[in-house]
């Protein structure tokens, strides 16, 4: 069943690209809809894994988590390549009276010096998460002892109806999990995983620790 949907994954990829650019105004509504209202909660799981003072959010989309982190007094910086997402976020933060440093750029070429952040987080990252260049950059800008936090969701059920519905909302990307693991493994970060929540759809948190060089020797 899932295999037969693969040919339309190109169409989904096109749609999602539009959603990050010219249809960015619809992003919050679409993510609410495909998650049946759970997107914000899933995204917020990342906050339980933040450590240290300086946080970078990569691919912040419409800026909800940036805003949430700012409202908690966290020192957060955001990076996002889409001009449309940047505009929506700027408007949102302005309305809320928040000022959060943001840069336009790509995960694969982060415009930050080595060892700048204590936590780098990304929720529902796009294709950049399967690119080894992304994880090399994450490892570079993390301070020793810093953490990478990546949040996604997974279906934990064999129910065929649920599997069909899930594959419509979250189209299968053949080989993506293996590519993600490979890209991570090459980063030099120490990788761990956590599953959060109960029920059919659970939050998958991938953690990568930048081990201090003297700790590696010990």
Can you give the binding site for ligand SAM, defined by CB under 6 A?
Answer: 20, 31, 43, 58-61, 80-82, 85, 106-108, 123-124, 126, 128
In the complex, the smallest distance separating the C-beta of residue 37 from ligand SAM, rounded to whole angstroms, is 14
**Minimum CB distance to ligand SAM smaller for 32 or for 159:** 32
Query: CB under 8 Å to 138, separation ≥6 — which residues?
Result: 58, 107, 110, 120, 148, 187, 189, 208
Nearer to ligand SAM, 136 or 211 (CB): 136
| CA–CA separation, 159 and 137 (whole Å) | 39
Asked if 47 and 68 touch (Cβ cutoff 8 Å), the reply is: yes
Residue 66 near residue 101, CB atoms below 8 Å: no
Determine the distance from the C-alpha atom of residue 28 to the mean position of all C-alpha atoms in its chain, rounded to a whole number: 15
User: Minimum distance from CB of 134 to ligand SAM (Å)?
Assistant: 7
Closer of 76 and 107 to ligand SAM (Cβ): 107
Q: Cβ 127 to ligand SAM, closest distance in Å?
A: 7
**Of all residues in this chain, which one has the CB nearest to ligand SAM in the complex?**
61
- Shortest distance, position 151 Cβ to ligand SAM, whole Å: 7
- Considering the complex, state which of residue 59 and residue 146 has its C-beta at the smaller distance from ligand SAM: 59
Distance (Å, rounded) from C-alpha 17 to C-alpha 99?
Answer: 27
Strand-pairing partners, residue 201, are 155
Q: Which of 180, 92, 91, 76 is nearest to 129 (CA)?
A: 180
- Judged by CB, which is closer to ligand SAM: 74, or 211? 74
Shortest approach of ligand SAM to residue 100 CB, angstroms? 14
Alpha-carbon Rg for the chain in angstroms? 17
């Amino acid at each position: 069943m899932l295999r037969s949907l693969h040919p339309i994954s190109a169409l989904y990829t096109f749609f999602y690209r539009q959603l990050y650019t010219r249809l960015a105004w619809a992003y919050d509504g679409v993510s609410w809809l495909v998650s049946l209202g759970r997107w914000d909660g899933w995204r917020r799981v990342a906050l339980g894994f933040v450590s240290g003072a300086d946080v970078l959010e990569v691919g912040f989309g419409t800026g909800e988590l940036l805003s949430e982190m700012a409202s908690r007094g966290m020192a957060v910086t955001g990076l996002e390549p889409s001009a449309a997402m940047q505009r929506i976020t700027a408007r949102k933060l302005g309305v809320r009276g928040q000022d959060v440093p943001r840069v336009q750029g790509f995960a694969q070429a982060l415009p930050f010096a080595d060892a700048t952040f204590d936590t780098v987080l990304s929720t529902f990252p796009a294709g950049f998460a399967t690119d080894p260049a992304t994880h090399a950059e994450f490892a570079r800008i993390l301070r020793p002892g810093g953490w990478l936090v990546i949040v996604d969701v997974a279906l934990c059920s064999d129910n065929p109806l649920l599997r069909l519905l899930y594959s419509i909302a979250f189209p299968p990307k053949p080989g993506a999990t293996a590519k993600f693991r490979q890209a991570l493994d090459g980063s030099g970060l120490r990788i761990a995983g956590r599953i959060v929540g109960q029920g059919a759809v659970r939050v998958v948190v991938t953690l990568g620790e930048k081990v201090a060089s003297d700790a590696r020797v010990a």
